[in-house]
Amino acid sequence: MGSAGVPLRELGLVLLVAAAITYLATGLVRSVLVRTGRVAEIRQRDVHTQPTPSVGGVAMFTGMLCAVFLAQQLPALTRGFAPVTPEMTAVVAGTFAIVIVGVIDDLYELGALAKLAGQCFAALLMAFLGIAFTVFYLPFGGGTTLILDQVQGVALSALFTVMLINAVNFVDGIDGLAAGLGMIAGAAILLFSLTVLHDQGGAVSAYPPAIICATLVGICAGFLPHNFEPARIFMGDSGAMLIGLMLSAASVSASGKINMSLYGVADIVALMSPVIVVLAAIALPVLDLVWAVVRRLARGQRPWEADAGHFHHRLLALGHTHRRTVLVLYMWVSAVALGAVSFSVVPTRYAAGFTVIALVIAFVATLVPLAKGKIGPREG
């Protein structure tokens, strides 16, 4: 156990096991897919040039299940499971449902409405079983508590989950991007959960988001070596939707966990809703999703029709290589997510300084091709 009831070693072990199992399982899944001829064909909007096996989400889900099982066996983490709290049961059920939907789509191409129906089912299942918004701490007017009833909480949680599932799925268009963004966002929410555990002396309510995030970071880290450019396997919709659902589960579970009586009103932590912190962790994929919907509607397209206008496509058009595009997006997500969380970890002046510096570095890195006079082909 770490200081003040924070199970750092146990969470670290869960993370490492998730990474190791996912890494090994990914190699096995890839071998099976190659031998059976299950490879993703090249589409017009794709940035890869070689047919590549998909359905890597199966390996990620395998790593997740093994890590969660391990966590349940560790005495320091049992407070995050039933009968103390139903949240981890809800996560396992929700992820199982979304991975089934994703695998069917990866192998047989589900229609947009059928896929959306599957996403809604998984989101509602998870919300009904215990991962649902109940309390918001609003910083306005000196601090206000907003309490939701069960119907409102389930509906809002399901909507939020479906949004995140599609946000991550939308940005999964270049090698290593979705896995890296999931890992960074998960690490930010994990840091937030560890802070709550420390400040509240091991509060039971902070265990599930910490376990979820440790597992998420692990499966993304384990998959990334196989998926970084040039990718040997894709996670497919099964993996991207798994990341989106787990990010939603961690975000919803982490919201409302701060005991505001521990902080002074002037303290920046008291002025920040936990929802703002977790939304910052997934700001980039959500912004890309919203912009994609607006862009497609403006062109007379249906919102779910794929195009080549995502952030990663635009960075490639600026002249970035595939790897540098991914690294630049990593910088932006890290600056926003870790910057937001830093306000609940270190004094305000340090957090503000870190955030500004990180944003400046990300901005400069984005403009490097322009400074070198390298501009790629513009979107048609």
Of 206-220, 221-235, 273-287, which range is least confident? 273-287
50 vs 151 pLDDT, higher one: 151
Mean pLDDT over the full length of the chain: 82
DSSP letter at 11 equals: H
- pTM (two decimals): 0.85
**Direct distance between the N- and C-terminal alpha carbons of the chain, in angstroms, rounded to an integer:** 56
What does each C-alpha distance from 175 to 125, 231, 235, 246 come to in angstroms? Answer: 31, 6, 10, 20
For residue range 8-30, list pLDDT tens digits in order: 999 999 999 999 999 999 999 99
193: confidence class by pLDDT, cuts 50, 70, 90: confident
What does each C-alpha distance from 252 to 20, 121, 274 come to in angstroms? Answer: 27, 17, 9
86 vs 298 pLDDT, higher one: 86
Q: At 41, which amino acid appears? A: E
299 vs 233 pLDDT, higher one: 233
- Rounded distance between C-alpha atoms, residue 197 and residue 193, angstroms: 6
Question: Which residues partner with 53 through β-bridges?
Answer: 39
DSSP letter at 136 equals: E
Decide: helix, strand or coil at residue 172: coil
Q: Does the structure show a pLDDT above 60 at 268?
A: no
Q: Does the structure show a pLDDT above 70 at 332?
A: yes
Determine if the peptide bond prior to 230 is cis (ω within 30°). Answer: yes
For residue range 137-147, list pLDDT tens digits in order: 665 555 566 78
For residue range 79-124, list pLDDT tens digits in order: 999 888 899 999 999 999 999 999 999 988 888 899 999 999 999 9
Contact 223, 23 (CB under 8 A): yes
- What pLDDT score was predicted for residue 98? 97
Contact 237, 102 (CB under 8 A): yes
- Rounded distance between C-alpha atoms, residue 98 and residue 115, angstroms: 10
- What percentage of the chain reaches a pLDDT higher than 90? 39
E strands present in the chain: 39-40, 52-53, 135-138, 144-147
Over range 244-256, report the average pLDDT: 87
326 vs 283 pLDDT, higher one: 326
Of 88-102, 276-290, 337-351, which range is least confident? 276-290
H-type alpha helices, 74-130: 87-108, 112-129
- Rounded distance between C-alpha atoms, residue 289 and residue 148, angstroms: 27
How many CA atoms lie less than 13 Å away from 331 in the CB half-sphere? Answer: 19
CA 261 to chain centre: 30
- What percentage of the chain reaches a pLDDT higher than 70? 81
Determine if the peptide bond prior to 83 is cis (ω within 30°). Answer: yes
